[in-house]
Structure 1
Amino acid sequence: MTLQWHHGNRDKIHRFIVFWVVVAATLLIFLRGSEIAIADEAPNLALFGPPLPENFYPQQQPADPELVDLGRSLYFEKRLSKNQDISCNSCHQLDHYGVDNQPFSPGHKGQLGGRNSPSVYNAAAHVAQFWDGRAADVEAQAKGPILNPVEMAMPSEAQVLKVLNSMPEYVEAFATAFPKDKQSVTYDHLGQAIGAFERGLVTPAPFDRYFAGDQTALNAKQKRGLTLFVDAGCAQCHNGTYFGGNTYQKAGRVNPWPNQEDQGRYKVTGDEYDRMLFKVPSLRNVAKTGPYFHDGSVKSLKAAVVQMANTQLGKDLSNSEAGDIVAFLESLTGEPPTDYIQPPVLPVSTESTPAADPT
């Protein structure tokens, strides 16, 4: 039997085929457009990975609750200072995003340090500690301010240990945290304990939800700010999970830094290359941690953004551009772990506990 096709049938089939070809082409264009959009977005977000972890403990050394609890007590312990009026928390206030919002923090007898106190939140993940990177990690950093004559001003490690050994509760806490060591109350163990506590200071922020795929976590202005943050070149230095903290950069890379009295890492290494070189600060919680820069010289975040664009990138941002970047930076304001940072009840002094020394 021979099938015969009428012109009407052929026209219908032709229209049917054309219709689906158009649909397929439209769908292909849509999908291709989506791929392009994703490709355009992905490089921006890829600059800021991997995702923020839950804590900063090495995988082979998970958190030890006894060690963390001891570190928490030591973090809030003012008797680790010569006049017993300053603790780690005095300058790095955990209920104020890890800072005291002063250009320079007051130390022993009201002396002022020469650099702005950086936030302790998320700091355990940084490449090094202090603005000049002179401490390798938070464990090493914790031991510095206690003996610094401008900060907590304890005269020696021996005096610190004398204070701790005078309180049975501390002796027992050290023995519990370091059960394998005959001498549990040591200065190195103090640093390890404070560092262990600080490794739990993580602040997940709206940006982290956006990074994980929640497009509603940032508003339109913040998304514009993110794009501008990358396109303007800010992400050349402020990248990675912590938007900085992972490298060093010269202050005044393109245009001179206003105040060059502090020569940065040069003071540590004596290497000419390190003159005016500072650790790039993390921008997490930056909207809450002013004043800004190593010299605490700028109060406003918007002014800080404008100055950085000029000195580091040689660019002059418009008012609206700076505003968009600030809006984006506000998406990096995280949530401090409220229960984790609650001040503990500290051991009671005994008759053998050294008295405060205001001299």
Structure 2
Amino acid sequence: MTKIVRFILLLTVTLFIFISFSVYFTACSETEEWQPEAAAIFQPVPPEAPVPEDNPMTPAKIDLGHKLFFEPKLSRSGIISCNTCHVVGAAGVDHRDVAIGEHGRLGPRNTPTVYNAAFLRAQFLDGRAATLEEQAVGPIQTHVEMDLTPEEAMERLEKTGYRPYFREAFPEESNYFTFDNLAKAIAAFERTLITHGSPFDDYLQGDREALTEDEVAGLQLFMDNGCMSCHNGPLLGGQTFMLFSHAAQQEGDDMGRYNVTGQEADKYVFRVAPLRNVEMTYPYFHDGSAETLEEAVSIMGTSQLDRRFNEQEVNQIVAFLKTLTGEFATVPHPVLPR
């Protein structure tokens, strides 16, 4: 082998190594570039929820709320509980298009997850309840859901043997066995349903290796195309209301927040969906009309962003969204009073 040939081979190998390292460090710098920008727009899920002054959390109250969340006697048939629709073992949803209540009655909307609901600005997809306490008593009284009056609910709990649990949960109150305290107990339990510790949380806190190259590319698409304008903060959404309609909707369908306010501007306006654990909360949208995350991303692109994502872009955004799945603590079925 001549000196010229050896020189050419050495030069070729050197150039190959140089180009490889350049590509690697460019990719690393791009990954690092997105981390601080993302950290300024999103935040990790806090390990604890804010607690209202008028409903401090105690072990006894959380225990009572845990029991009440699983208590089927809070429904007219004695079959349906809060956990029937907000299944704690299924990311807090029932995976149905719309919820099913008493006697197989269909609710008008898809079931939102109960996980991380303590951080939401308003409860229900139309925001008709401001707090978890207010939300907790709604389904119990709604005809298509559990269909009981407050009086009937408390009478059933009295007969079942719940009074001592209420006394322990609200020791400073003389009139402790009330429907309002039922709501406070359920809300206290729901404030423990938090899923922090996702790969994206790790990334936001400085672990640049927490996301893969495709996941970072999905984050970049998510930010570059304006998804973050609505889906931001710790939950990537859940704090604002936006107009949303798509091809699956028909004239006369659910008009969202308009049903609460009666204002023309609120027709087809819904609470922006929080995206934490979105991989596990299918089907999607208020009507459950998108079966897969890929379908939901494509619809959001065309209906909200006037942007048609190609297959690779959809897959990368979905890869990013899957990094939002946090850690679920085991929630056992409690032993109920009988």
Band of TM-score, shorter chain: 0.7 to 0.9
Mapping for residues 333-344 of structure 1, pairs under 5 Å? 333-338=325-330, 341-344=331-334
| 1:236–1:64 CA distance, 2 compared to 1 (3 A) | same
1:110 to 90, 95, 104: 104
Q: Distance in 1 between matches of 2:71 and 2:208?
A: 43
Q: Distance in 2 between matches of 1:124 and 1:257?
A: 30
Tell me if structure 2 keeps the 8 A contact 1:57–1:63: no
Mapping for residues 83-122 of structure 1, pairs under 5 Å? 83-122=77-116
| 1:295-334 deviation line (CA, Å, top 9, x unaligned) | 1011011010000011011111011001000000000111
How much does 1:272 deviate?
1.0
SS in 2 for 1:166: helix
Determine the structure 2 residue equivalent to 1:131: 125
Tell me if structure 1 keeps the 8 A contact 2:122–2:130: yes
Determine the structure 2 residue equivalent to 1:258: 249
How much does 1:42 deviate?
1.8
Mapping for residues 216-295 of structure 1, pairs under 5 Å? 216-252=209-245, 258-260=249-251, 261-295=253-287
SS in 1 for 2:209: helix
Q: Distance in 2 between matches of 1:62 and 1:191?
A: 13
Q: Distance in 2 between matches of 1:232 and 1:287?
A: 20
Determine the structure 1 residue equivalent to 2:177: 185
Determine the structure 1 residue equivalent to 2:158: 165
Determine the structure 1 residue equivalent to 2:21: none
Q: Distance in 2 between matches of 1:122 and 1:180?
A: 29
Determine the structure 1 residue equivalent to 2:206: 213
Letter in 2 for 1:115: R
| 1:212-264 deviation line (CA, Å, top 9, x unaligned) | 11112111111110111010111111110001111110004xx7773351100
Matched, 1:142 2:132: no
Q: Distance in 2 between matches of 1:151 and 1:256?
A: 28
Q: Distance in 2 between matches of 1:239 and 1:259?
A: 29
Unaligned runs of 5+ in 2: 1-27
Any runs of at least 4 consecutive aligned residues in structure 1 with deviations exceeding 4 A, and if so which? 34-40, 59-62
Q: Distance in 1 between matches of 2:166 and 2:277?
A: 33
SS in 1 for 2:297: helix
Letter in 2 for 1:124: A
Q: Distance in 1 between matches of 2:119 and 2:327?
A: 17
TM-score, scaled relative to structure 2: 0.87
Q: Distance in 1 between matches of 2:30 and 2:280?
A: 36
Letter in 2 for 1:103: D
| 1:92-111 deviation line (CA, Å, top 9, x unaligned) | 00000000100012110001
Letter in 1 for 2:225: A
SS in 1 for 2:317: helix
Q: Distance in 2 between matches of 1:142 and 1:337?
A: 21
How much does 1:43 deviate?
2.1
Tell me if structure 2 keeps the 8 A contact 1:122–1:202: yes
SS in 2 for 1:42: helix
How much does 1:39 deviate?
5.9
* Count of residues in Structure 1 that have an aligned counterpart in Structure 2: 308
How much does 1:276 deviate?
0.8
Q: Distance in 1 between matches of 2:98 and 2:324?
A: 24
SS in 2 for 1:249: strand
Letter in 1 for 2:289: S
How much does 1:38 deviate?
5.6
| 1:333-352 deviation line (CA, Å, top 9, x unaligned) | 112111xx11110001xxxx
Q: Distance in 1 between matches of 2:151 and 2:52?
A: 33
Letter in 1 for 2:176: S
| 1:240–1:136 CA distance, 2 compared to 1 (3 A) | same
How much does 1:59 deviate?
7.8
Q: Distance in 2 between matches of 1:146 and 1:213?
A: 44
Q: Distance in 2 between matches of 1:71 and 1:229?
A: 38
| 1:291–1:35 CA distance, 2 compared to 1 (3 A) | closer
Q: What's the % identity of the aligned pairs? A: 44
How much does 1:185 deviate?
1.2
Over the aligned positions, Cα root-mean-square deviation in angstroms equals: 1.8
| 1:101–1:37 CA distance, 2 compared to 1 (3 A) | closer
TM-score, scaled relative to structure 1: 0.82
